[in-house]
Amino acid sequence: MNLFDLPGSPIPEELTTILAEGANTRIERIVSDGQVSGWYDQDEAEFVALLDGAAEIEYENGDILAMGKGDTLTIPPGVRHRVSYTSSNPPCVWLCVFYS
C-alpha cells in the first residue's frame, strides 16, 4: 500500500485504514477531506503525524493546535480533544499510532 494512494475527492466521510495492529498497538492511515470529528476521550495514547494537508486539533480547555504537513503530536490517554478543521485541497493524510 502507498500512503498517498487516495480515493477521488471529495470523499463523503473520513476514510480509516488499519495498517497494522498488535496486542497494545494499532497503526492507522486516516484520510480527511473537510470532515471534523466529535470529542474523543481515549484510553490509549495516540501519536499523530499529518503527512499532507492542514488541520486543527481542539482541546477541551479551548486551546487549538494548527497542524501542517509534517507536523506531529502525542495525545496522552484521557485528554479530551477533537479535530475541528481539515483541509480539502489537499486532503489530510494522517498516520496515527495508538498504544497503551
pTM of the model: 0.93
Tens of pLDDT, residue by residue, the chain (100 residues)? 899 998 887 888 999 999 999 999 999 999 999 999 999 999 999 999 999 999 999 999 999 999 999 999 999 999 999 999 999 999 999 999 999 9
| Domain-located, residue 85 | yes
- CATH at residue 47: 2.60.120.10
Domains in the chain: how many in total? 1
| Domain-located, residue 82 | yes
| Domain-located, residue 51 | yes
| Domain-located, residue 45 | yes
Query: DSSP states of 1-65 as a string?
Result: --TT--PPSPPSS-EEEEEEE-SSEEEEEEEESS-----B--SSEEEEEEEES-EEEEETTS-EE
Burial class of 2 by CB neighbour count within 10 A (0 to 12, 13 to 18, 19+):
exposed
Domain span at 45: 18-99
